[in-house]
Amino acid sequence: MHERARIDYVLRKLDWLAAERIWPNGLRYLWTDAFGVVLLVSLHRALGGQRYLDDAEALIASVDAVLARERGYRIGEEADRDGQYFHYLMKWLYALFVIGRYLPDYRERAIAIARDVHGAFCLPGRGVWWKMREDLSGPYPGFGFGAIDAFDAYVTYSLLDPHALADEIADMRRLIMQTALELTIHQDLGIGMMLWLSHFFPHEDWAVLQRTRCLATLDHMWIRRSYFCREPMLPEVKFAFTNYGVAIGLQSVGQHAGRVNRLHRFFEEYRAGDEYDRAAITHVMACSSHFPGDLIMHERDGAAFAPGRSGA
């Protein structure tokens, strides 16, 4: 699919989402809205004009009004989406980084948020709490350390400002060095996001290792030439939005374009018969997968980003 066709797909999907009051005029959810901000900025970059940049700013204002807390952001607006996920916060900071390339105040805001939440989530030398209480007073009951959260933060902090966040980056680099060698990811969305993270610093040791390992695992998850299953031992379990996350990761590292196209076709027709058929996350991730835009960095973006030491 050529870029113009990808954009037309996204524009049709966004019109439908708005008409159905699913997104962005539905309930707030930080993961979905982070990808949505990047999508809108990507449309601004591709089509010009002010509309999509204004829409991105309006979305950020809505997220701030509904989900922002004294420190950090609540997971979502619905009652059962309380607490804070670290990896959601990192996606939100990435979205602010992307719009910050046009409006620098957002990048400065993201740096301030990173400094504010880092100490609550990160236990240097031990790990990063996957989920915290909403006021960041302590870990959310029943949750431990996240498997790829340190990688997420290392990349996001490095993109935002490797000098202003040097201490925070050093914390995450040490955690990566402790865990990268032993880490094998088995869940589809986690694999997709690790592939995506690896493309920012593709020559660093952790990125080379994890990219190779993730691609090998995906080979065991490709089912009936149509989709990736949830985990290698769950061949019948599939979700559209997580497959779109895998597709974003594959596109970022330039692998398996044929599989990406086939899963796009499959999930255009597939209906799970549950709430995900109309969920904003499904359709915003579909848009992001069909048109990754500023989710993927290119040499033209000046994306050297002061990479870390080769041993990171």
pLDDT at 301: 61
Strand partners, 85: 131
| CA–CA dist 277, 240 (Å, integer) | 9
Would you say the C-alpha torsion 140, 175, 115, 88 has a positive or negative sign? negative
pLDDT at 305: 41
Task: Give the number of other Cβ atoms within 10 Å of residue 152's Cβ.
Answer: 24
pLDDT at 299: 52
| CA–CA dist 44, 56 (Å, integer) | 9
Q: Would the pTM of this model clear 0.85, i.e. be above it? A: yes
Ranges in the chain, pLDDT < 70 = 299-312
Question: What is the tens place of the pLDDT at every residue in 278-297?
Answer: 999 999 999 999 999 999 99
pLDDT at 309: 35
| CA–CA dist 289, 263 (Å, integer) | 10
